[in-house]
Amino acid sequence: MSRDVLVRATDETMDHFLYRDGQLHAEDVPIARIAAEVGTPFYCYSTATLTRHFKLFDAALAGMDHLVCFAMKSLSNVAVLKLLGDLGAGMDVVSGGEYARARAAGIPGDRIVFSGVGKTREEMRHALEHGIRQFNVESEPEIDLLNRVATELGTVAPIAIRVNPDVDAATHEKIATGRKQDKFGIPIDRAREVYAHAASCEGLRVVGIDVHIGSQLTALAPFEAAYGKIAELTRTLRDDGHEISRLDLGGGLGIPYSRGNDIPPQPAEYGELIRRTVGDLGCEIEIEPGRLISGNAGILVASVLYLKKGYDRDFVILDAAMNDLIRPAMYGAHHDLVPIEEPAPGTEAEPHDIVGPVCESGDTFAKARPVPPLRPDDLVAFRSAGAYAAVMSSEYNSRPLVPEVLVSGDQFAVIRRRPTFDEMIARDIVPEWL
């Protein structure tokens, strides 16, 4: 196997994790230098990639009144949020915790949209008291509860109603959200009735329509189908007397997780599609990209612990595990694995199962993955580990959450440090009566 199957080409549209003088760098910083200081495993993010990806979306909607709300569930470190917020990003939050993080990062309330099927009364109240651009409401009971909470506070909650357009995003089963059997939104054919009800609520002000059909979409056709339905609905609701001034078109644009696969559509093409489908309605456009901004802006760096000969295969045992990066176990996801030291030209790659130390066979990052010869203590990196990666990590097997590092040019900083065992244990409380 030739080495360029192991190593991503110098493709500026992807990321800023490239080999220089035979060493993988994050921008201008050698990964090995960070590893020596921070220890492994750790996540490493690139400000240049985050910035570039945000600006691609912002530029794609240029000329239209718009706000790019980063779906912070994909990567919610406060330093990353501040970076994007300083560029003008809004935030799409899905919990009170995310709302608090966004505010801690200095994002003003009028740039925060609150999504999610299960908002609690406390989450609604807190956001109303501290500032919110809009709630994307997903059901009639939620409409009624938000109306009550806003009325009690003597305020009016701006809302968009999330409609389920019954469009198949043709993505992984667990992240398709716009089919009629999915739990999200209200059925589009009931929209008029539900909008009429919302408009009659004194504590609510209808400002728009919201839609989000899924994640990791690799084609534009499902967006086109959904946004076409939204354009039609906008006209219908306006005819019914509703002021529809905003369209929140959700997120979902996919990223290339491995070389050689089809490259998903670019933000510019997506922007053109938005212009074509809803551009003539005079609405302010909101989009909620997560993965495309953060996915290829991060890597997970790990050390090789052991090479083990198995019954019918060879294993590479790493110090990172499924608790640190669960996407392979949870979605069968592929993450490219690259050595930090660039393999010499012509190096043979042999298939290995890449596994972690957790006591489950599910703790497998890749099966029969061709890798160049590795030795204990060698450093490796999983690519495309910026989105739905650190945010999904846990302390399973009492493995402390791994640190996060942010690189900018030739500088780097730890933006979440590794907790000590004592800090991890201190959260547990042994009752007096034990």
Ligand X SMILES: *Cc1c(COP(=O)(O)O)cnc(C)c1O
List interacting residues with ligand X (CB under 6 A): 71, 73-74, 92, 115, 212, 215-216, 250-252, 288-292
Size of the chain, expressed as the number of residues it contains: 434
Q: How far is the CB of 184 from ligand X (least distance, A)?
A: 8
Q: How far is the CB of 215 from ligand X (least distance, A)?
A: 3
Which DSSP string do the residues of 230-274 spell out, in sequence order? Answer: HHHHHHHHHHTT----EEE----B----STTSPPPPPHHHHHHHH
| CA 185/CA 127 separation, integer angstroms | 20
Beta strands 411-416; 404-408: pairing state: antiparallel
**Distance from CA of residue 53 to its chain's centroid?**
13
Q: Which of 69, 201, 283, 359 is catalytic?
A: 359
Q: How far is the CB of 54 from ligand X (least distance, A)?
A: 12
Which DSSP string do the residues of 85-151 spell out, in sequence order? Answer: HHTT-EEEE-SHHHHHHHHHTT--GGGEEE--TT--HHHHHHHHHH--SEEEE-SHHHHHHHHHHHH
Q: Rounded to 10 degrees, what is the CA torsion of 170, 174, 179, 182?
A: 180
| CA 363/CA 357 separation, integer angstroms | 7
Residue type, 209: I
CB 387 within 8 A of CB 288: no
356 is in an annotated binding site: no
Q: Which is nearer to ligand X, 92 or 363 (CB)?
A: 92
327 is in an annotated binding site: yes
Q: Which is nearer to ligand X, 185 or 372 (CB)?
A: 185
Q: How far is the CB of 404 from ligand X (least distance, A)?
A: 18
Q: How far is the CB of 13 from ligand X (least distance, A)?
A: 17
291 is in an annotated binding site: yes
| CA 406/CA 393 separation, integer angstroms | 18
Q: How far is the CB of 271 from ligand X (least distance, A)?
A: 15
88 is in an annotated binding site: no
Q: Which is nearer to ligand X, 164 or 234 (CB)?
A: 164
Q: Which is nearer to ligand X, 7 or 93 (CB)?
A: 93
| CA 249/CA 223 separation, integer angstroms | 9
> In sequence order, which residues have a C-beta less than 8 Å from that of residue 80 and are 6 or more positions away?
45, 50, 294, 406, 415
| CA 97/CA 164 separation, integer angstroms | 26
99 is in an annotated binding site: no
396 is in an annotated binding site: no
Q: How far is the CB of 116 from ligand X (least distance, A)?
A: 7
Q: How far is the CB of 95 from ligand X (least distance, A)?
A: 11
| CA 142/CA 132 separation, integer angstroms | 16
At residue 269's C-alpha, the angle toward residues 268 and 272, to 5°, is 90
331 is in an annotated binding site: yes
Q: Which is nearer to ligand X, 251 or 298 (CB)?
A: 251
Residue type, 45: Y
Which has the closest alpha carbon to 337: 361, 365, 358? 365
Asked if 201 is an active-site residue, the reply is no
Beta strands 364-371; 350-355: pairing state: antiparallel
Q: Which is nearer to ligand X, 300 or 355 (CB)?
A: 300
Which has the closest alpha carbon to 131: 105, 154, 157? 157
Q: Which is nearer to ligand X, 31 or 81 (CB)?
A: 81
Q: Which is nearer to ligand X, 40 or 393 (CB)?
A: 393
Residues belonging to the binding site for pyridoxal 5'-phosphate are 252, 288-291, 388
Residues annotated as catalytic (active site), given as ranges: 359
Binding residue numbers for substrate: 291, 327, 331, 360, 388
Binding site residue list: 252, 288-291, 327, 331, 360, 388
